[in-house]
Structure 1
Amino acid sequence: MISPAAVRSFGRQARRFWREEAALRRRLVNTGHLLTGNVFGSAIGLVAFVLTARALGPTDYGILALTLAYVRAVERLIAFQSWQPLIKYGAEVRGREHLNDYRALLKFGLLVDIGAAATAYLTAIGLALLFGPLVGISAQNVDQVLIYATVLLFQISGFPTAVMRLAGRFKLTAYGALISSVLRLGFCAVGLITGQGLRYFVIVWTVTQIIGALTLLGLAFWEIRRQGVRRLLWAPLTGVTRRFKGLLSFTVGSNVELTLRSSANEFDTLLVGMLAGPAAAGLYHIAKRLGRLVLQLGVQVQAVLYPDVARLWADNAVNEFRRAVLQIEVMLAGIGVALVIATALVAQPVLAWTAGPSFADAASLAVVQMLAVTMTLSGSAVRTALLAMGRQPSVLRVVSIATVAFHLTAFSTIPFIGAMGGNIAHVVMALVWLVGLSMIYRTALPSQPARV
């Protein structure tokens, strides 16, 4: 039995640790803001999906899921994660004396985003019209894709993401994103009450996602104006890739990495729909929504950690760098294990009560999906560190191997065990990802131990 004195001693140590760890405290506060906004947004989005599932039923909901998955997959296939190089190199040009370099860097990222958005839109339309049936989109459902693909023209997200994260505007970003989520929930509730069909819900998702993208872009332009950055579009780009050595290869590499990961994380719903039918895709999509709700934790932690560790690495503060990464790594692993246990206990009754009894079978899918999510969470801090170190090619190699493992597993299991095969494939991919990134990270740093 633990004595009261031991409890008091632990409490004193915890309070002293909290007071002394100013950097960790700031990261956790910023992460808390992002998580609060994103948990609310994701929870609101999950309720919107539940209302939609109630209104449409498994088959039509599966068609909607395939539509959303297809457009998101094309966007991920084409998009550049321009925020990654913008943050890495933006962390190196702090101060008014580097304002022109900063303007050129931001303009480079903005133009990359605009070009990718236009290319993604044209690609989505063309592939849907020519090859829709091959990815589970029948001729009758192409119209839904043509409507929803409009959001791709507004997916200019890398530039505003980098601007807001470098400026530390995590609170504003988190709560500003709730606008579109609240609107979507309201429209979905109206659709359920009035008995609207599939076309209505596709339009709702299209309009609200465009509003969300424009909100983030508007906040970014407001922020750079506040920083004194003027006439961004007139900034000269001559020599920008020489000034920021490795900028072009980092940007292209981020696109290849995202494409590979998306072939598993976005095309998986399409694979299930193609190999097991729309109803199975609907169940799989519900399970993935639960997993994505948790993955927001890793996304938001990375959002806060990446600018910090990029600055630490640029300043050659190796010990502080290692300590920051280790602290976040331990925290994410512990949270992930707790969530796997919680999902196993409550997923089935919650799904039956919310989405309906016909979706209760997604509970077992959610448990396996959460196991994959936990391993992905555990590796997100290390991935962030490797990007800050300029090890993007190493990350790309690990992602390539993990993606091959996913597809080999998925194509060999989904035809026999349905949607569960997709979740098992994610577990295999996450395991390869976690082990591979950890091995590279451990060999990339000096051997001094880091304190938690």
Structure 2
Amino acid sequence: MTYPTNQGVPRALRMLHDRFGAFLVKGTRARLVAVGHLLSGNFLNALIMLVSVAMAARSLGPATYGVMVLVLSYNRVVERILRFESWQPLIRFAVQDENRASPRRMQRLYCYGLMLDMGAAALAAVTAIALALLLGPLFGLKPLHIQLVAIYSIATLFNVAGVPVAALRLSGQFKMLAYAQVAGNVLRIFFALFCMISGAGVLGFMVAWTAAQVLGSLIVFWTGFRALRAMGIANPLHAKLKGLTTDFPGFFGFACSTNLSLTLRVITTEADSLFVGALAGTSAAAVYYLAKRIAKVAMQVGAQVQAVIYPDVSRMWAKGNLRGFRATTLQVQAALALVGILMLGGGWLIGPLLIRLGPGEAYSDAYVLLLTQLFAVMLLLHAAPSRSAMLAMNQSWHVLAISGLGTAIFVVVASYAVPRYGALGGNIAHVVLGIVEAVLMDIFWLRKSRRPPVAANAG
């Protein structure tokens, strides 16, 4: 007796093979290795940072630690409003020219970015002190705490990371980038331990945070310039300044648009702590900030994994490789979805223990805030590769428009929810923001990436 051959199974296997083969585009293995370095480095970095945060929170208590939170948040708001994320336009312009540009032209391009970074850092440091003197009371800062702002402004002055980060990412040195700041955070632990034992108070902890931040910035700067030398690019500080704007038309506009997007994100990532502190007090701000710092472990993963794909998708889009462009973006979105789910599950299982052993029982309310914030982070992780894809398409102004809409909705929701639900209202606003950005960015980049390669090259 003979049986009919089942042709459906081989056909289904071939279909799965074709689909899987399209998903694993060229460079997948190298990209996953880079992601692995970034994940391990960032988990280690985040763990070290959480140890120092827990020491400060436990030693100072919610009310005094809340003051430190307000000072740190205020400085970061000012810095990120004025700072240019020059690594984004640097990568885009370098990728466009890398096959035909001379090392001298690349030196001038990096010089352009470096001048923007240094000028913005100096302006941010001075502005933070000046505004604190004039407007400090609006943020809950007393005259006694203005000196804390001045101390941390030193860290702002040294935060010139755009050129080093671009160099490390374009040269593929993700391992070096992942571990560069670990030394600074290790030092922060020793400083925090000394402050905790000696009872140095909030002033001592602020000095410790500043010193660690400065060291981390210097290490990143040094490693980035080493990467430039390895690529055959001379020191950007030795390039002539004349004619930079005319040699690279559109660079400043692109940098401005990404800076405006960063400014909008600052409202939701840093200024929200000031808002919670103003409406609910420094203790509420401390608990809210602590939950965000724990959730930021996942957020840093998203930011660094995004850094892996941005140079790749920029090259793919410039060459009209739409298949690789779409597959790479979807691939990283799937990986980040898994990371987000694991983070949320881990927070649910060990969150109470983590809080109890770290900052202490005084911060037990942070558990619910942590879970809500982790859910919001999952949505923002999903939107991160979409943002990279849109920037690679030269759609920075559309990114700005979506960010502006999401920020406006965030402010409306937070203004309603924080007075009614306290710090939890800020987390609810983050969830709404994540939904808006994830959905709108996905719709935009998926539709635009269906265009033929000729349209893609037209950008």
Shorter-chain TM range is: over 0.9
Which of the numbers 107, 129, 135 marks the counterpart of 2:133?
129
1:158 equivalent in alignment to 2:158: no
Distance (Å, rounded) in 1 between the aligned partners of 2:368 and 2:315: 42
Distance (Å, rounded) in 2 between the aligned partners of 1:298 and 1:97: 32
Contact 2:25 2:327 in 1 (8 A): no
Distance (Å, rounded) in 1 between the aligned partners of 2:183 and 2:42: 12
Contact 2:104 2:234 in 1 (8 A): no
Alignment of 1:13-412 (within 5 A): 23-95=27-99, 97-237=101-241, 240-412=244-416
Contact 2:114 2:236 in 1 (8 A): no
Deviation at 1:176, TM superposition (A): 2.1
Q: 1:231 to 1:157 in 2, by over 3 A?
A: closer
**Which one is further off, 344-353 or 60-69?**
344-353
Deviation at 1:193, TM superposition (A): 2.2
Contact 1:135 1:270 in 2 (8 A): yes
> What is aligned with 1:6?
none
**Which one is further off, 305-314 or 186-195?**
186-195
Distance (Å, rounded) in 2 between the aligned partners of 1:157 and 1:270: 25
Letter in 2 for 1:387: L
Deviation at 1:168, TM superposition (A): 0.8
Letter in 1 for 2:180: G
What does the per-residue CA deviation read over 1:271-329, in whole Å, with 9 as the maximum and x for residues that have no partner?
11111000000000110001111111111111110011111111111111111111111
Distance (Å, rounded) in 2 between the aligned partners of 1:150 and 1:128: 14
Distance (Å, rounded) in 2 between the aligned partners of 1:390 and 1:339: 32
Distance (Å, rounded) in 1 between the aligned partners of 2:123 and 2:207: 22
What does the per-residue CA deviation read over 1:394-451, in whole Å, with 9 as the maximum and x for residues that have no partner?
1000000000011111111111211111111111111111111111112211179xxx
Q: 1:418 to 1:232 in 2, by over 3 A?
A: same
Contact 2:276 2:422 in 1 (8 A): yes
User: 4+ runs of 1 displaced by more than 3 Å?
Assistant: 16-22, 236-245
TM-score, scaled to structure 2: 0.91
Give the secondary structure class of the aligned counterpart of 2:98. coil
Distance (Å, rounded) in 1 between the aligned partners of 2:129 and 2:22: 52
Contact 2:80 2:262 in 1 (8 A): yes
> What is aligned with 1:3?
none
Q: 1:219 to 1:318 in 2, by over 3 A?
A: same
Give the secondary structure class of the aligned counterpart of 1:91. helix
| Matched residue count | 437
What does the per-residue CA deviation read over 1:162-200, in whole Å, with 9 as the maximum and x for residues that have no partner?
111111111112222111011001111122222221111
> What is aligned with 1:442?
446
Letter in 1 for 2:295: G
Contact 1:253 1:392 in 2 (8 A): yes
Distance (Å, rounded) in 2 between the aligned partners of 1:310 and 1:122: 35
Deviation at 1:49, TM superposition (A): 0.5
Contact 2:23 2:331 in 1 (8 A): no
Q: 1:274 to 1:410 in 2, by over 3 A?
A: same
Q: 1:164 to 1:188 in 2, by over 3 A?
A: same
Give the secondary structure class of the aligned counterpart of 1:48. helix
% of aligned pairs identical? 38
> Unmatched 5+ residue regions in structure 1?
1-8
Letter in 1 for 2:63: T
Distance (Å, rounded) in 2 between the aligned partners of 1:265 and 1:190: 29
CA RMSD for the aligned pairs?
A: 2.1
